[in-house]
Structure 1
Amino acid sequence: MNTQRRPRLTRTDWLVAGLSALCEQGPGALGAEPLARRVGATKGSFYWHFTDVPAYNLALLGLWESAARQALAASAEADATNATRLRTTAQMIAATSTSDTPALRAEPAIRAWARDDSNCASVVAEVDEARLQQLRGLLSACGIDNGEMARILYASAIGMEDLHDRDAAQNSDAIGSLVDLVLALR
């Protein structure tokens, strides 16, 4: 008989497992039972960390939102020119699926989830607005006051994420070229 105990799962372990499940199987995999099977634990362990599945979902969305805002802040604080910060911000958005941060890699799955879940859609909308505000501010600092340009850059970056399975390596260069083109219009 094996007397070794498995280490106890932490809240973070459950959230990371949820991100993987969401990416691989969609939001239907975010129930207590499928997640418990996935990590080889009991539902009791799940409920030790989360009061219910909606609370878990909110925690998962909070993890993604926090990672997205941290990445946005890091690109804004880069020691560079406004044009370079603009390029860095757009490239960060276009390359979330290849990020070192698991929560950011889940962005395409989070966006798909938001199509059918109002709580998720609300969180995505908040992140979208924060990113658009930063792009608008950087464009303005570069002498481009056409607010539509921020939306065009953002939509292009988000759209490039849909190509991540085939062309992820090309996304950063492509969005960088679009930023360069927009800046050339000044």
Structure 2
Amino acid sequence: MTARGSRWAKEDWLQFGADMLRKYGPPAMTVEGLCASAKRTKGSFYHHFGTIDGFLLALAKAWRKTQTDDIAESVAADTTPEARLATLVRLTNVIDHDLEAGVRALGVSHAAILDVVRAADERRETFLASLLDDAYELGPEDAVSLARLYHALHVVAQARAPGAIGDFSAGPTALLRRLAADLKAART
């Protein structure tokens, strides 16, 4: 972030908002609370976002970009299906789970944010289905179903074991891998 005495850019506000959301949850997401905590004027906030809803939507879109779209782009750069899956697991285990929980919680009471969350989930599932189909030759229907199971496991792990996602999901992930291998064997 910029020095406290200088003007904040839109990105500074978004980073600060992400920090507040991950630490304090949706109740911290008010213009008054953000400005007081940031030691900034409301004019500075409104200059960039116009409304709290505009800010929250921009925050949700930034979350989607960093925690969905950027990850998919990084994973797609790997050369083999197995490497892509391994990279995906590594990156999704270390995403900002507290921020993810905060954005999902905001979606409960903000329809536009819920739309962003749903679009991110759909992007994740579609991308994962493609990876699973490439790796296990499952066919579209089984790949989509298995991708939904993996994604559901990830979302549950964030709620149940946010500090130990990999440990929580290791057993179920191994089971899903065996299921994928069995489905592949049944197709050949």
Among candidates 149, 153, 177, match of residue 152 of structure 1: 149
- CA-to-aligned-CA distance 1:26-56 (integer Å, 9 cap, x gap): 2232221110111111111111222121111
**Secondary structure in 2 matching 1:162:** helix
Where relative contact order (Cα < 8 A, 6+ residues apart) is larger, the structure is 1
CA 178–13 in structure 1, closer or farther in 2 if over 3 Å, else same: farther
Instruction: Find out whether 1:112 has 2:109 as its counterpart.
Output: no
Deviation of 1:177 after TM superposition, in Å, equals 3.2
- Corresponding residue for residue 78 of structure 1: 78
Determine the C-alpha separation between the residues in 2 that align with 1:63 and 1:7.
Answer: 23
1:83 is displaced (CA, Å) by 2.4
- Shift in alpha-carbon separation, 1:163–1:117, aligned structure 2, 3 A: same
Measure the CA separation in 2 of the matches of 1:179 and 1:135.
Answer: 13
Please tell me whether the aligned partners of residues 95 and 171 of structure 1 are also in contact (alpha carbons under 8 angstroms): no
Write out aligned runs for 1:163-178 (5 A). Answer: 163-168=160-165, 170=167, 173=170, 177-178=174-175
Task: Name the residue aligned to 2:159.
Answer: 162
1:111 counterpart letter in structure 2? R
4+ residue stretches of structure 1 with deviation over 6 A?
none
TM-score w.r.t. the length of structure 2 is 0.81
Equivalent residue for 1:121? 114
State the Cα deviation string for residues 77-109 of structure 1 (Å, max 9, x = none): 223x212312332443343236xxxxxx51121
What's the counterpart of residue 24 of structure 1?
23
SS at match of 2:164: helix
Q: What fraction of aligned residue pairs are identical, expressed as a percent?
A: 26
SS for the counterpart of 2:96 is helix
CA contact (8 A) 1:94 1:158 kept: no
For 2:5 and 2:60, locate their aligned partners in 1 and report how far apart those are by CA, in whole Å.
27
Secondary structure in 2 aligned to 1:78?
A: coil
Alpha-carbon distance change, 131 to 86 in structure 1, aligned in 2, over 3 angstroms: same
Q: How far has the Cα of 1:183 moved from its partner?
A: 3.9
Amino acid at match of 1:87: A
TM-score by length of 1: 0.81
1:13 paired to 2:6: no
Q: Which runs of 5+ in 2 are unaligned?
A: none
Query: Helix, strand or coil: the match of 1:8?
Result: coil
For the aligned residues, what is the CA RMSD? 2.3
Query: Are the equivalent residues in 2 in contact too, given 1:32–1:46 (CA < 8 A)?
Result: yes
Are the counterparts in 2 of residues 61 and 123 from structure 1 also a CA contact under 8 Å? Answer: yes
| Residues 18, 35 of structure 1: 8 Å contact kept | yes
Q: 1:175 to 1:113 in 2, by over 3 A?
A: farther
Mapped to 2, the partners of 1:12 and 1:117 lie a distance apart of: 22
Q: CA deviation at 1:126?
A: 0.5
